[in-house]
A = this chain, B = another copy of it.
């Protein structure tokens, strides 16, 4: 059967194990495996993100995840109704370049891999789909494409992409990738206007990616290839050989490939994207009541404004308070001033230090 449409394979990276959303997010159950923004987990939402896209056929999605999360990942995917999928279980994390390479070897029969982190939200899916459609011709020509978020604030928490000449339908060549800037530099880039946030969302042909990886990081390519040759395959699950994978260098796709190739393009897109990198940003992307409160769990609110409540069980009562983030999870209660959620790192550090002192 001949199908004129190109075939896109969604590749979902579930490698994160951050602690920025402590106490909900923990190493054994990181952010992407939690229902933070909706009734479904962020992984489940990501797996549905390409649904309804009509300019291509959608191939079997590939999830690259930590072996430690195998059973919960299978459970979440099957609960969400998906039967035809593939999970690549990394015995240990080696950053994004090897993770994407694992998927690329399994996606060689497709026309494009759409690489997406599993722990972001995108509010405007039509805008995302439209950007994908515009990028497909460049991908077909072998370009490595990144989706850059049109910035609306001088964020210092993201990397930036400087865009140059037009090379496609509202698509620009990438001039350079910029590390997370300081506030002054971020403001400059916002004013210049030809910069986008690096969201870690990519699209390219599997062979184009593997060829580029071979040019710049042949050791990664070789280790990934060897680990797959000796992989343990079992139904929808592939476990690369740990010994072969152990020698793989650790590197990000940005450093290993995107920054070093010539034909790299950026599709600027404004699609209500968030990396939900903090409790404050979860408040921003959540549905809120008339008093700007975002509530998950049972709550009694008597004069509460601008608050986030996220409880895994206990009922929360707020009386005459504002701008609080209240998180209750697994026997921990955290209350912090809104706008200060980057300090969650200090909390986890304090807990780690106390635990070490107690040993």
Contacts and interface: CB of A to CB of B under 8 A. Distances in A.
A63 B7 CA distance: 81
A333 B343 contact: no
B333 A320 contact: no
A347 B300 contact: yes
Interface string A298-336: 001010000000010111111111001010100111111
A72 interface: no
A350 interface: yes
A141 interface: no
Contacts of A311: 333
Given A320-B340, A320-B343, A302 B335 contact: no
A351 B300 contact: yes
A26 interface: no
Interface string A243-258: 0000000000000000
A337 interface: yes
A346 interface: yes
Contacts of A340: 319-320
Contact of A321 (B314, B333, B335, B346): B335
A316 B302 contact: no
Number of copies of this kind of chain in the complex: 2
A326 B318 CA distance: 10
B314 A328 contact: yes
**Which size class do A's interface residues fall under?**
20 to 34
Given A300-B347, A302-B343, A336 B320 contact: yes
Nearest to A318: B335
A333 B315 contact: yes
B333 A317 contact: yes
Contacts of A346: 302, 319
Contacts of A343: 302, 319-320
B324 A333 contact: no
A352 to B, nearest CB: 12
Contact of A314 (B320, B326, B331): B331
A153 B280 CA distance: 41
30 contacts: A23-B317, A300-B347, A300-B350, A300-B351, A302-B343, A302-B346, A302-B347, A313-B331, A314-B331, A314-B332, A314-B333, A315-B333, A316-B334, A317-B332, A317-B333, A317-B336, A318-B336, A319-B335, A319-B336, A319-B340, A319-B343, A320-B336, A320-B337, A321-B324, A324-B324, A324-B335, A326-B333, A326-B335, A333-B333, A335-B335
